[in-house]
Copies of this chain bind each other. A is one copy, B any other.
């Protein structure tokens, strides 16, 4: 039989006892669980970065995995805490956009707002709801529990605060929305933006006044060549072959990336 699998993503770092407290609660309530750290090094309170890393990791985990995701600047406030089921996987975290990307990519999902204290540790700390509310609920789901009973269904989730892609004539303007540890620049431009409209001569991608060649894989670029590929999130990424696009071009989240259909 497959042991329950719990995957963690937080901005707690690994120098202190916070991630360990979550794990202790999870293993107290679901002793046979396997725990996998996605990362605890999301930049502090950066829900956008957390959302991207989570969404990129999720598809490789088997159905039944429970994801406990905590990047929670609003801890103790009125923001909702949610549990969700999407394509057979489970999610627990604050309703602040962190889970939104992962859930929206699913074929279908159901989310509930956690309101039933029967499933929590008590007393609930005002500063550590991840330990007292989210971890106990994640352990409950990992033990085979159902969403029903945890709280009422949420009709919509908080959106992730992402810039939008603007279209002007045959030009799309998107932005760098994530920079990964290798210095690759993930944009909010969808894969379809690289597909030239029928009858056109193709597309040109520009970043920082520089033409970027569109290739099918990182390896297809030349040495130190900046290339554009469709990454694992279905989004256009800019990468430097055998180097860091982020360092070389002093990239920052929010940088504009342009796709022109000629």
A97 smallest CB distance to B (angstroms): 18
The stretch from A7-15, A107-115, A164-172 touching chain B is A7-15
Q: Which residue of the partner chain, among B3, B24, B37, B60, contacts A62 with CB atoms under 8 Å?
A: B24
- Which chain A residues have a beta carbon within 8 Å of chain B's beta carbons? 2-3, 5, 7, 12-18, 20-21, 23-25, 27-28, 31-32, 34-41, 53-54, 56-57, 60-62, 65, 73, 75-77, 125-128, 131, 180-182, 216-220, 232, 242
Q: Are B61 and A24 in contact (CB under 8 A)?
A: yes
Q: Are B2 and A31 in contact (CB under 8 A)?
A: yes
Q: Are A16 and B181 in contact (CB under 8 A)?
A: yes
Q: Which residues of B contact A217 (CB under 8 A)?
A: 76, 125-127
Q: Which residue of the partner chain, among B20, B57, B181, B232, contacts A60 with CB atoms under 8 Å?
A: B20
A192 smallest CB distance to B (angstroms): 20
Q: Are A17 and B53 in contact (CB under 8 A)?
A: yes
| 15 A-B contact pairs sorted by A residue (CB < 8 Å) | A3-B32, A13-B181, A14-B14, A14-B41, A17-B56, A20-B37, A20-B60, A23-B36, A24-B61, A24-B65, A25-B60, A27-B62, A125-B217, A125-B232, A126-B217
Given contacts A16-B180, A41-B14, A181-B13, contact A219 B76 (CB under 8 A): yes
The residue in chain B whose Cβ has the minimal distance to the Cβ of A23 is: B36
Q: Are B28 and A7 in contact (CB under 8 A)?
A: no
The residue in chain B whose Cβ has the minimal distance to the Cβ of A55 is: B17
Q: Are B181 and A57 in contact (CB under 8 A)?
A: no
Which interface residue of A65, A77, A182, A216 has the most chain B CB atoms within 10 A? A182
